[in-house]
Amino acid sequence: MAKEKRLKKDLGEHKRVGLDTCVFIHHFEGGELSELTAVVLERVQDGRVTGCVSALSLTEVLVKPLEKGLDGLADLYRVVFHEMPNLETVSVDQEVASKAAWLRASQGLGLGESIVLACALQAGTTAFITDKNIKAEINGLQVLALEDYL
């Protein structure tokens, strides 16, 4: 319970947060991080914070369900990305691609991570929720790693 309280406090400091693909995967697949992802997604859904997600994240979350023939789960992901209140999907355009290249070059991140983070920066978020060990702050964007709340 203390972990969720600390996450709520940290989220309360931000109006717009970027959501890594893993937030959705952990939430729907369950596991030890799902309680924390529930906090994040509830905050987005009730409007306490605006969530911003890369269009690339939809691609990433659909792969496993489609591989396994879980069309219902794939449809659920599509609905969440399209209809969840206070969730904005950021498209990858030339400006995002340039920011992603800068992130790859300066931070040594992979292509997917760079694009997702670049979308968060493009959307004007002040925090980024992930499960990865990414630098604590990137270009003014505070990184909140879910594992740090366990």
Query: Residue 107's closest CA among 41, 85, 90, 115?
Result: 115
Domain map of the chain by residue range? 2-90+124-149
CA angle, residues 51, 52, 58, in degrees to nearest 5: 115
Query: Residue 27's closest CA among 117, 143, 129?
Result: 129
Please tell us whether the domain made up of 2-90+124-149 is placed in CATH 3.40.50: yes
What pTM was estimated for this model as a whole?
Answer: 0.92
Residue pLDDT, tens place only, 39-61: 999 999 999 999 999 999 999 99
What pLDDT is attached to residue 55? Answer: 95
Mean pLDDT (the chain) is 93
Low-confidence ranges of the chain (pLDDT < 50): none
